[in-house]
Amino acid sequence: MNDFFSNPVLVKALPEAIIETLQMVGISAFFTVLVGLPLGVFLHVSAPGGLRPMPVINRILSDIVVNITRSIPFAILMVALIPLARALTGTSLGPVAASVSLSIGTIPFFARLVETCLRDVHHGKIDAAQVMGSTNMQVISKVLLRESLPPLVAAATTTVVTLVGYSAMAGLVGGGGLGKLAYNYGFQRFDVSVMIVTIVLIVVLVQVIQLVGERISRSLDHR
Amino acid sequence: MITVTDLRKVYQQGKKEVVALDGVTLSVPKGSIHGIIGHSGAGKSTLVRCLTLLDRPTSGSVSIDGTELSSVRDSEIRAARRRIGMVFQHANLMDSRTAAGNVAHPLELVKTPKDKTRTRVAELLKLVGLEGFENAYPSQLSGGQRQRVGIARALASEPEVLLCDEPTSALDPATTNEILDLIQELTSRLQLTVLIITHEMNVVKRVCNSVSLLSRGRIIEHGALEDVAGELDSQLARALLPLPPSFPLPGPLQRGPVLEIVFSGDSAKEPVLTGVARHFDMDINVLAGSVETLGGQQFGHLRVQLAENSDVDGVLGYLTDRGISARRVAPVAGAAPEFPDTLPDPDLPDPVVPNQGLHPTKEQGRHE
Ligand SMILES: Nc1ncnc2c1ncn2[C@@H]1O[C@H](COP(=O)(O)OP(=O)(O)O)[C@@H](O)[C@H]1O
Ligand SMILES: [Mg+2]
């Protein structure tokens, strides 16, 4: 124990790494939901048999964008997106720049999860809402999203957990955070205590996210 | 009052055309309940979708109190829909909303002020007998209670027409009767025009004033309950007044002619059979019988056997003169004309014999 607290790397670099990781996860989680949720809704609504079928656009978005992005391994995507990150944030280093590729990597993933959640809303509920005179927007907000809120929260939780993993990878190509710490000290300098501490911290972070997410999801579930 | 005139709906399935509704005409006056009964595939769901404007009819019209619904512009479709309240088989409530929240749902859509919504919701829940259940979620309610919430929600926008699609098919018999009684009470209290889609004859018997039999997209029989029940030859009458199978009794009567008699209302109060027996001086044996109250009138359906060599035409004439519908049938169960397209009737005693004209439904048939 004493060993850990006297380790200068842990005392100096660890707090900063934690903050960087939280920044990366926080920023990219925000943008993933911001873009992924509407994208998922659109994919569902514009599908054949949906509220407002738009076969061509749906096909393009669904097949090309989503599938291609998902089939490129994240490590490659991250490197490929460095120019974009630089264009958007003015730098290719640091948690903010890394958040660009993190978000782009998880948006399609989350959108697909959203689409699946919405598909599980019983069609009778949509019929009922339409017969009572709902607009399409009202069906989306008052039925599709509201009725699938518990699984949506669960999907967001899964996505954030995935982001924690991705953020460790992003750390290696300039993002910083716990991933970089583990790599620089734990791997390159064989500092076992740094390795252990970062692993424990990442596991705890994942556990906390999972726990909070499940708690929220369950409290919203009245089925 | 709802009026449907020559409604047709043709679905395009690849190159094939599927005629789901083939000229449906019906009209239901205010304050009365009309049952639409038919097999699966008859076009019931299509009719519902056309009435609620979820689907546009291919031709024909639907109007409520003289206002044409089927040709409203898309921008007016939502306002038009609010004139029809709909009750679903599985209630289709929102699980994330409480009972009160579900009833408030249609009111929210038109931005009803909060306090007005609150009083209206309380009123509606009271109307359906759910006072005190405001904060219960659907998962905490029984099937019957959920259906009550569904009915309250359907009435929230003060519709003139209540459309019920198999409202009791998912409920047990006792709850079914409670819900039907509620629908009946609300119909007269609020002067609603009610259409009930069902495959259960029990529903028709209990609450409907009139009934239509839908088959392959057409209405093949229809009328006030007391009228159709009195027509011996109709499929509806046979389903409304089913007789158990029977065989001629042993003894001197066994070769006598067998008659089926339906008598109703006033004639049911007279001693018909005694009259026949006295007038023709013959013995009569009752083989099977059922008595029902339909549309507020008493109906009796009897299968009787007369003595051998009796004057069948004379007896038939005697009965017809007294306004009683009667006809001769084959003596042994099984030889009567078949009805290829009659209704499944869960109320029928088992086993269902062919001369009842009641075949298993198509779904049941598939499992065999
Ligand atoms: N969307 C559709 N496309 C093609 N055919 C349909 C469609 N909806 C219904 N049908 C056909 O119309 C007929 C009537 O169906 P439906 O109204 O669902 O009957 P019911 O509700 O009485 O079981 C059936 O033959 C069915 O196959
Ligand atoms: Mg159907």
Kindly report, residue by residue over A95-115, the tens digit of the pLDDT: 888 999 899 989 999 999 999
**Is omega for the bond preceding B351 within 30 degrees of 0, making it cis?**
yes
B38 lines ligand 1 (CB under 6 A): yes
Specify burial of residue A121 (Cβ count, 10 A radius: 0-12, 13-18, 19+). Answer: buried
**Residue B133 in tokens:** 């259940």
Whether B347 has a pLDDT exceeding 50, the answer reads: no
Buried b (16+ CB within 10 A) or exposed e, B68-85: ebbeeeeeebbebbbbbb
Q: Which of A131, A135, A220 sits opposite B52 (nearest CB)?
A: A131
Among A77-91, B122-136, B140-154, B161-175, the minimum mean pLDDT is found in A77-91
**Residue A75 in tokens:** 């490590």
Q: Does B94 touch chain A (CB under 8 A)?
A: yes
CATH of domain B244-329: 3.30.70.260
B86 alpha carbon to ligand 2 midpoint, in Å?
15
Q: Residue A68: pLDDT band by 50, 70, 90 thresholds? A: low
- For tokens 């925000």, what's the residue? A30
Top-level CATH class of B2-228?
alpha beta
Which helix or strand (DSSP H or E) is residue B125 part of? helix B114-127
Question: Strand runs (DSSP E) across B218-312, as ranges?
Answer: 218-224, 258-264, 284-294, 297-306
Among A97-101, B102-106, B240-244, the minimum mean pLDDT is found in B240-244
Whether B195 has a pLDDT exceeding 60, the answer reads: yes
The residue type found at B348 is L
ipTM score of complex: 0.88
User: Are A131 and B110 within 8 A, CB to CB?
Assistant: no
pLDDT value of position B355: 38
Q: Does A136 touch chain B (CB under 8 A)?
A: no
When comparing pLDDT for B298 and B113, which is higher? B113
**DSSP 8-state assignment for residue A198:** H
Cα B232 from Cα B326, distance rounded (Å): 7
**Residue B79 in tokens:** 């306002």
Q: For residue B62, give how far its alpha carbon lies from the nearest alpha carbon of chain A (Å).
A: 16
User: Are A127 and B110 within 8 A, CB to CB?
Assistant: no
Q: Does B205 touch chain A (CB under 8 A)?
A: no
Residue A80, domain extent? 2-220
B54 lines ligand 1 (CB under 6 A): no
Judged by its nearest atom, the ligand closest to the C-alpha of residue B44 is: 1
Can you tell me which atom of ligand 1 is nearest the CA of B39? 22
Let me know: does A39 contact A61? Beta carbons within 8 Å: yes
Question: How many CB atoms neighbour CB A132 within 10 A?
Answer: 26
A51 alpha carbon to ligand 2 midpoint, in Å?
21
Q: Does A48 touch chain B (CB under 8 A)?
A: no
User: Are B92 and A146 within 8 A, CB to CB?
Assistant: no
Cβ–Cβ pairs < 8 A, chains A and B:
66
B42 lines ligand 1 (CB under 6 A): yes
Which residue, B5, B36, B13, B18, is CA-closest to B215?
B36
Q: From atom 17 of ligand 1, which residue's Cα is the shortest distance away?
A: B43
Q: Which of B95, B97, B109 sits opposite A134 (nearest CB)?
A: B109
Specify burial of residue B337 (Cβ count, 10 A radius: 0-12, 13-18, 19+). Answer: exposed
**Residue A167 in tokens:** 């953020």
CATH of the domain at A201: 1.10.3720.10
Q: Which residues pair with B35 in a beta bridge?
A: B196, B211
Pocket test for ligand 1, best of B40, B46, B47 (most atoms within 8 A of CB): B46
- For tokens 């998922």, what's the residue? A40
Whether B251 has a pLDDT exceeding 70, the answer reads: no
* SS3 readout for A99-121: HHHHHHHHHHHHHHHHHHHHHCC
Let me know: does B102 contact B94? Beta carbons within 8 Å: yes
* Residue B12, CA distances (Å) to B16, B36, B74, B112, B275 in order: 6, 25, 22, 40, 59
Cα B162 from Cα B32, distance rounded (Å): 11
Whether B367 has a pLDDT exceeding 80, the answer reads: no
User: Are A142 and B105 within 8 A, CB to CB?
Assistant: yes
B44 lines ligand 1 (CB under 6 A): yes
pLDDT value of position B360: 40
Q: To the nearest whole number, what is the mean pLDDT of chain B?
A: 84
When comparing pLDDT for A141 and A177, which is higher? A141
Residue of B nearest to A148 (CA): B96
Q: How many domains does chain A have?
A: 1
Residue spans of the domains in chain B: they are 2-228, 244-329
- B-chain CB neighbours of A132 within 8 Å are 81-82, 86, 105-106, 109, 153, 156-157
Greatest pairwise CA separation for chain A in angstroms: 68
* Residue B352, CA distances (Å) to B238, B241, B356 in order: 12, 14, 7
